[in-house]
Structure 1
Protein backbone atom coordinates (compact mmCIF):
# COMPACT_ATOMS: atom_id res chain seq x y z
CA UNK A 1 0.00 0.00 0.00
CA UNK A 2 1.43 3.33 -0.99
CA UNK A 3 0.98 6.44 1.03
CA UNK A 4 0.40 9.91 -0.25
CA UNK A 5 2.87 12.75 0.10
CA UNK A 6 4.07 13.52 3.61
CA UNK A 7 2.73 16.74 5.02
CA UNK A 8 5.12 19.16 6.73
CA UNK A 9 5.20 19.05 10.51
CA UNK A 10 2.66 21.28 12.18
CA UNK A 11 4.27 24.27 13.87
CA UNK A 12 2.64 26.41 16.46
CA UNK A 13 2.33 30.04 15.46
CA UNK A 14 5.05 32.23 16.92
CA UNK A 15 3.34 34.32 19.56
CA UNK A 16 4.88 37.58 20.72
CA UNK A 17 7.52 37.26 23.39
CA UNK A 18 6.45 38.70 26.76
CA UNK A 19 9.04 41.49 26.47
CA UNK A 20 7.82 42.36 22.97
CA UNK A 21 4.24 42.42 24.23
CA UNK A 22 5.32 44.67 27.12
CA UNK A 23 7.14 47.01 24.73
CA UNK A 24 4.07 47.53 22.52
CA UNK A 25 1.34 47.38 25.18
CA UNK A 26 -0.66 50.53 25.80
CA UNK A 27 1.00 52.69 28.45
CA UNK A 28 -1.77 52.07 31.00
CA UNK A 29 -1.36 48.27 30.67
CA UNK A 30 2.43 48.45 31.01
CA UNK A 31 2.01 50.78 33.99
CA UNK A 32 -0.44 48.38 35.65
CA UNK A 33 1.98 45.46 35.23
CA UNK A 34 4.82 47.52 36.69
CA UNK A 35 2.74 48.65 39.68
CA UNK A 36 2.28 45.01 40.61
CA UNK A 37 6.07 44.88 40.88
CA UNK A 38 6.67 48.11 42.83
CA UNK A 39 3.80 50.24 44.04
CA UNK A 40 4.99 53.69 43.00
CA UNK A 41 3.49 55.67 40.12
CA UNK A 42 6.62 57.69 39.24
CA UNK A 43 8.71 54.50 39.04
CA UNK A 44 6.20 52.71 36.82
CA UNK A 45 5.67 55.75 34.55
CA UNK A 46 9.43 56.21 34.17
CA UNK A 47 10.04 52.57 33.24
CA UNK A 48 7.04 52.64 30.87
CA UNK A 49 8.19 55.87 29.20
CA UNK A 50 11.57 54.44 28.22
CA UNK A 51 10.15 51.57 26.16
CA UNK A 52 11.01 49.77 23.95
CA UNK A 53 13.69 47.72 25.65
CA UNK A 54 15.92 45.59 23.43
CA UNK A 55 16.18 42.79 25.99
CA UNK A 56 15.15 41.80 29.50
CA UNK A 57 18.48 42.88 31.02
CA UNK A 58 18.00 46.42 29.67
CA UNK A 59 14.52 46.57 31.16
CA UNK A 60 15.77 45.29 34.53
CA UNK A 61 18.62 47.81 34.52
CA UNK A 62 16.16 50.65 33.82
CA UNK A 63 13.87 49.40 36.60
CA UNK A 64 16.82 49.30 39.01
CA UNK A 65 17.89 52.82 38.07
CA UNK A 66 14.37 54.17 38.48
CA UNK A 67 14.12 52.50 41.91
CA UNK A 68 17.42 54.03 43.04
CA UNK A 69 16.03 57.47 42.15
CA UNK A 70 12.96 57.27 44.40
CA UNK A 71 12.73 59.96 47.04
CA UNK A 72 12.15 59.10 50.70
CA UNK A 73 8.45 59.97 50.33
CA UNK A 74 8.11 57.83 47.19
CA UNK A 75 9.86 54.97 48.94
CA UNK A 76 7.46 55.31 51.87
CA UNK A 77 4.54 55.18 49.43
CA UNK A 78 5.92 52.01 47.81
CA UNK A 79 6.56 50.41 51.20
CA UNK A 80 3.00 51.21 52.32
CA UNK A 81 1.66 49.02 49.52
CA UNK A 82 3.81 46.01 50.36
CA UNK A 83 2.29 42.88 51.88
CA UNK A 84 4.00 41.11 54.76
CA UNK A 85 6.23 38.18 53.80
CA UNK A 86 4.19 34.98 53.66
CA UNK A 87 4.80 31.92 55.76
CA UNK A 88 4.49 28.34 54.57
CA UNK A 89 0.96 27.00 55.08
CA UNK A 90 2.03 24.41 57.65
CA UNK A 91 3.72 26.91 60.01
CA UNK A 92 2.86 26.53 63.70
CA UNK A 93 0.70 29.18 65.35
CA UNK A 94 3.55 30.03 67.76
CA UNK A 95 5.67 30.96 64.74
CA UNK A 96 2.88 33.20 63.47
CA UNK A 97 2.75 34.89 66.88
CA UNK A 98 6.53 35.39 66.93
CA UNK A 99 6.46 36.83 63.44
CA UNK A 100 3.51 39.11 64.24
CA UNK A 101 5.32 40.44 67.32
CA UNK A 102 8.51 41.02 65.32
CA UNK A 103 6.56 42.83 62.58
CA UNK A 104 4.82 45.01 65.16
CA UNK A 105 8.16 45.97 66.74
CA UNK A 106 9.63 46.74 63.32
CA UNK A 107 6.66 48.85 62.19
CA UNK A 108 6.65 50.69 65.51
CA UNK A 109 10.34 51.53 65.16
CA UNK A 110 10.46 52.39 61.43
CA UNK A 111 6.86 53.27 60.50
CA UNK A 112 6.51 50.89 57.57
CA UNK A 113 6.10 47.23 56.68
CA UNK A 114 9.16 45.02 56.84
CA UNK A 115 10.29 43.94 53.37
CA UNK A 116 12.78 41.27 52.46
CA UNK A 117 13.78 39.61 49.24
CA UNK A 118 13.93 35.88 49.93
CA UNK A 119 15.24 34.87 46.51
CA UNK A 120 16.03 31.19 46.45
CA UNK A 121 15.40 30.63 50.15
CA UNK A 122 13.67 27.26 50.53
CA UNK A 123 10.15 27.64 51.95
CA UNK A 124 11.05 25.63 55.05
CA UNK A 125 13.79 28.18 55.85
CA UNK A 126 11.84 31.36 55.12
CA UNK A 127 10.45 31.83 58.64
CA UNK A 128 13.91 31.62 60.20
CA UNK A 129 15.36 33.98 57.61
CA UNK A 130 12.56 36.55 58.05
CA UNK A 131 12.76 36.46 61.86
CA UNK A 132 16.55 36.68 61.80
CA UNK A 133 16.44 39.63 59.40
CA UNK A 134 13.79 41.53 61.39
CA UNK A 135 15.72 41.08 64.63
CA UNK A 136 18.97 42.11 62.97
CA UNK A 137 17.48 45.12 61.21
CA UNK A 138 15.74 46.36 64.36
CA UNK A 139 19.25 47.39 65.50
CA UNK A 140 19.62 49.70 62.46
CA UNK A 141 19.23 53.44 62.83
CA UNK A 142 16.30 54.82 60.77
CA UNK A 143 18.48 56.10 57.90
CA UNK A 144 20.41 52.84 57.65
CA UNK A 145 17.14 50.88 57.62
CA UNK A 146 15.65 53.18 54.98
CA UNK A 147 18.60 52.32 52.71
CA UNK A 148 18.30 48.60 53.50
CA UNK A 149 14.52 48.56 52.95
CA UNK A 150 14.96 50.45 49.66
CA UNK A 151 17.46 47.85 48.44
CA UNK A 152 15.17 44.95 49.46
CA UNK A 153 12.25 46.64 47.73
CA UNK A 154 14.32 47.16 44.56
CA UNK A 155 15.30 43.48 44.59
CA UNK A 156 11.64 42.45 45.08
CA UNK A 157 10.54 44.67 42.17
CA UNK A 158 13.25 43.24 39.93
CA UNK A 159 12.29 39.68 40.87
CA UNK A 160 8.58 40.31 40.25
CA UNK A 161 9.23 41.98 36.90
CA UNK A 162 11.52 39.17 35.82
CA UNK A 163 8.88 36.60 36.82
CA UNK A 164 6.24 38.41 34.73
CA UNK A 165 8.53 38.51 31.71
CA UNK A 166 10.39 35.25 32.19
CA UNK A 167 9.10 33.82 28.92
CA UNK A 168 11.26 36.07 26.73
CA UNK A 169 13.26 33.11 25.44
CA UNK A 170 13.49 32.05 21.80
CA UNK A 171 10.28 31.75 19.81
CA UNK A 172 8.93 28.26 20.01
CA UNK A 173 10.06 27.56 23.57
CA UNK A 174 7.40 26.67 26.12
CA UNK A 175 7.96 30.01 27.83
CA UNK A 176 7.51 32.00 24.64
CA UNK A 177 4.26 30.15 23.90
CA UNK A 178 2.72 31.50 27.07
CA UNK A 179 3.73 28.92 29.67
CA UNK A 180 5.08 31.61 31.94
CA UNK A 181 5.48 30.96 35.61
CA UNK A 182 4.26 33.50 38.12
CA UNK A 183 5.90 32.87 41.46
CA UNK A 184 2.92 34.13 43.45
CA UNK A 185 3.52 31.68 46.27
CA UNK A 186 7.14 32.60 46.84
CA UNK A 187 7.46 34.26 50.24
CA UNK A 188 8.01 37.96 49.90
CA UNK A 189 7.51 37.96 46.18
Structure 2
Protein backbone atom coordinates (compact mmCIF):
# COMPACT_ATOMS: atom_id res chain seq x y z
CA UNK A 1 0.00 0.00 0.00
CA UNK A 2 1.56 3.34 -0.99
CA UNK A 3 2.41 5.74 1.77
CA UNK A 4 0.11 8.71 1.98
CA UNK A 5 1.79 12.03 1.51
CA UNK A 6 0.56 15.23 2.98
CA UNK A 7 0.14 17.98 0.44
CA UNK A 8 2.17 21.07 1.19
CA UNK A 9 0.11 24.24 0.96
CA UNK A 10 1.09 26.37 -2.00
CA UNK A 11 1.56 30.09 -1.86
CA UNK A 12 -1.67 30.38 -3.85
CA UNK A 13 -3.40 28.44 -1.04
CA UNK A 14 -2.31 31.16 1.40
CA UNK A 15 -3.83 33.79 -0.89
CA UNK A 16 -7.08 31.86 -1.05
CA UNK A 17 -7.12 31.54 2.74
CA UNK A 18 -6.79 35.31 3.26
CA UNK A 19 -9.85 37.29 4.23
CA UNK A 20 -11.30 39.39 1.44
CA UNK A 21 -9.80 42.53 2.98
CA UNK A 22 -6.33 40.93 3.20
CA UNK A 23 -6.56 39.64 -0.37
CA UNK A 24 -7.61 43.08 -1.61
CA UNK A 25 -4.66 44.69 0.22
CA UNK A 26 -2.31 42.14 -1.35
CA UNK A 27 -3.71 42.76 -4.82
CA UNK A 28 -3.53 46.54 -4.42
CA UNK A 29 0.25 46.20 -4.14
CA UNK A 30 0.19 44.87 -7.70
CA UNK A 31 -2.25 47.34 -9.25
CA UNK A 32 -3.85 50.07 -7.20
CA UNK A 33 -7.38 49.82 -8.54
CA UNK A 34 -9.89 49.06 -5.82
CA UNK A 35 -12.46 47.65 -8.25
CA UNK A 36 -9.83 45.44 -9.94
CA UNK A 37 -8.61 44.08 -6.59
CA UNK A 38 -12.13 43.40 -5.32
CA UNK A 39 -13.04 41.62 -8.55
CA UNK A 40 -10.02 39.32 -8.34
CA UNK A 41 -10.51 38.65 -4.63
CA UNK A 42 -14.18 37.83 -5.17
CA UNK A 43 -13.43 35.19 -7.81
CA UNK A 44 -11.11 33.10 -5.64
CA UNK A 45 -10.06 30.33 -5.60
CA UNK A 46 -7.91 30.15 -8.71
CA UNK A 47 -6.64 26.69 -9.66
CA UNK A 48 -3.16 28.00 -10.49
CA UNK A 49 -1.08 31.13 -11.02
CA UNK A 50 -1.69 31.12 -14.78
CA UNK A 51 -5.44 31.35 -14.18
CA UNK A 52 -5.00 34.18 -11.68
CA UNK A 53 -2.77 36.05 -14.15
CA UNK A 54 -5.34 35.57 -16.93
CA UNK A 55 -8.14 36.82 -14.67
CA UNK A 56 -6.02 39.82 -13.63
CA UNK A 57 -5.32 40.64 -17.25
CA UNK A 58 -8.99 40.34 -18.20
CA UNK A 59 -10.08 42.50 -15.25
CA UNK A 60 -7.54 45.16 -16.17
CA UNK A 61 -9.13 45.54 -19.61
CA UNK A 62 -12.31 46.60 -17.82
CA UNK A 63 -10.67 49.51 -15.99
CA UNK A 64 -12.78 52.62 -16.28
CA UNK A 65 -11.06 55.98 -16.79
CA UNK A 66 -11.53 56.58 -13.03
CA UNK A 67 -9.97 53.17 -12.21
CA UNK A 68 -7.03 53.97 -14.46
CA UNK A 69 -6.58 57.35 -12.80
CA UNK A 70 -6.63 55.68 -9.37
CA UNK A 71 -4.01 53.13 -10.48
CA UNK A 72 -1.78 55.71 -12.11
CA UNK A 73 -1.93 57.98 -9.06
CA UNK A 74 -0.39 55.21 -6.93
CA UNK A 75 2.51 54.46 -9.28
CA UNK A 76 6.05 55.65 -8.63
CA UNK A 77 8.69 56.55 -11.14
CA UNK A 78 10.90 53.65 -12.19
CA UNK A 79 14.06 53.47 -10.10
CA UNK A 80 17.42 54.08 -11.70
CA UNK A 81 20.42 51.90 -10.96
CA UNK A 82 22.44 53.34 -8.09
CA UNK A 83 25.53 53.85 -10.24
CA UNK A 84 23.70 56.06 -12.74
CA UNK A 85 25.56 59.30 -13.30
CA UNK A 86 23.97 62.60 -12.31
CA UNK A 87 23.47 63.88 -15.87
CA UNK A 88 21.23 60.89 -16.53
CA UNK A 89 19.21 61.69 -13.41
CA UNK A 90 18.80 65.25 -14.64
CA UNK A 91 17.72 64.12 -18.11
CA UNK A 92 15.26 61.64 -16.67
CA UNK A 93 13.79 64.17 -14.22
CA UNK A 94 13.28 66.62 -17.10
CA UNK A 95 11.65 63.95 -19.27
CA UNK A 96 9.36 62.88 -16.41
CA UNK A 97 8.37 66.48 -15.73
CA UNK A 98 7.52 67.02 -19.40
CA UNK A 99 5.51 63.80 -19.44
CA UNK A 100 3.56 64.62 -16.26
CA UNK A 101 2.89 68.13 -17.52
CA UNK A 102 1.53 66.79 -20.82
CA UNK A 103 -0.51 63.83 -19.51
CA UNK A 104 -1.23 64.68 -15.87
CA UNK A 105 0.09 61.44 -14.41
CA UNK A 106 3.36 59.68 -13.72
CA UNK A 107 5.11 57.83 -16.54
CA UNK A 108 4.63 54.07 -16.12
CA UNK A 109 6.67 51.41 -17.83
CA UNK A 110 7.29 47.74 -17.17
CA UNK A 111 10.99 46.93 -17.20
CA UNK A 112 10.65 43.23 -16.34
CA UNK A 113 12.22 42.03 -19.60
CA UNK A 114 14.81 44.81 -19.87
CA UNK A 115 18.36 44.07 -18.66
CA UNK A 116 19.35 46.40 -15.81
CA UNK A 117 22.24 47.80 -17.84
CA UNK A 118 19.77 48.93 -20.54
CA UNK A 119 17.00 50.23 -18.25
CA UNK A 120 17.99 53.90 -18.30
CA UNK A 121 18.31 54.06 -22.09
CA UNK A 122 15.04 52.16 -22.48
CA UNK A 123 13.14 54.48 -20.13
CA UNK A 124 14.51 57.62 -21.77
CA UNK A 125 13.77 56.30 -25.25
CA UNK A 126 10.23 55.25 -24.33
CA UNK A 127 9.34 58.44 -22.50
CA UNK A 128 10.55 60.55 -25.44
CA UNK A 129 8.62 58.40 -27.88
CA UNK A 130 5.44 58.42 -25.80
CA UNK A 131 5.54 62.20 -25.40
CA UNK A 132 4.43 62.33 -29.05
CA UNK A 133 1.20 60.44 -28.26
CA UNK A 134 -2.07 62.26 -27.92
CA UNK A 135 -3.58 62.00 -24.41
CA UNK A 136 -6.13 59.29 -25.29
CA UNK A 137 -3.54 57.18 -27.09
CA UNK A 138 -1.21 57.52 -24.11
CA UNK A 139 -3.92 56.37 -21.68
CA UNK A 140 -4.19 53.17 -23.73
CA UNK A 141 -0.40 52.70 -23.63
CA UNK A 142 -0.27 53.48 -19.89
CA UNK A 143 -3.09 50.99 -19.23
CA UNK A 144 -1.15 48.32 -21.12
CA UNK A 145 1.98 49.09 -19.08
CA UNK A 146 -0.08 48.85 -15.87
CA UNK A 147 -1.31 45.40 -17.00
CA UNK A 148 2.26 44.27 -17.56
CA UNK A 149 3.35 45.69 -14.19
CA UNK A 150 0.45 43.97 -12.39
CA UNK A 151 1.24 40.64 -14.03
CA UNK A 152 4.91 40.84 -13.05
CA UNK A 153 4.07 41.89 -9.51
CA UNK A 154 1.55 39.07 -9.10
CA UNK A 155 4.12 36.59 -10.36
CA UNK A 156 6.73 37.89 -7.91
CA UNK A 157 4.27 37.76 -5.01
CA UNK A 158 4.11 34.04 -5.54
CA UNK A 159 7.57 33.78 -4.01
CA UNK A 160 6.63 36.13 -1.17
CA UNK A 161 3.52 34.46 0.15
CA UNK A 162 1.11 34.47 -2.77
For normalisation by structure 2, the TM-score amounts to 0.93
Tell me which of 49, 58, 68 is aligned to 1:56.
49
Q: Which has the larger radius of gyration?
A: 1
Stretches of structure 2 that go unaligned for 5 or more consecutive residues are 1-5
Tell me which of 24, 27, 40 is aligned to 2:33.
40
Q: Please list the CA deviations of residues 23-57 of structure 1 after superposition, one character each: whole Å capped at 9, or x if unmatched.
A: 12111111111000001111100000000001111
Tell me which of 23, 30, 39 is aligned to 2:16.
23
Is the counterpart of residue 105 in structure 1 residue 98 in structure 2?
yes
Q: Tell me what 2:137 maps to.
A: 144
Distance in 1 (CA, whole Å) between partners of 2:100 and 2:154 is: 26
- Partner of 2:53, secondary structure, is helix
Q: Tell me what 2:113 maps to.
A: 120
Distance in 2 (CA, whole Å) between partners of 1:161 and 1:119 is: 12
**1:181 Cα deviation after fit:** 6.1
Runs (4 or more) in structure 1 with deviation over 4 Å come to none
Stretches of structure 1 that go unaligned for 5 or more consecutive residues are 1-12, 166-179, 183-189
- The 3 A distance-change label for structure 1 pair 155 and 18 is same
Is the counterpart of residue 96 in structure 1 residue 78 in structure 2?
no
Q: Tell me what 1:74 maps to.
A: 67
- Partner of 1:38, secondary structure, is coil
Distance in 2 (CA, whole Å) between partners of 1:54 and 1:147 is: 30
**1:15 Cα deviation after fit:** 4.0
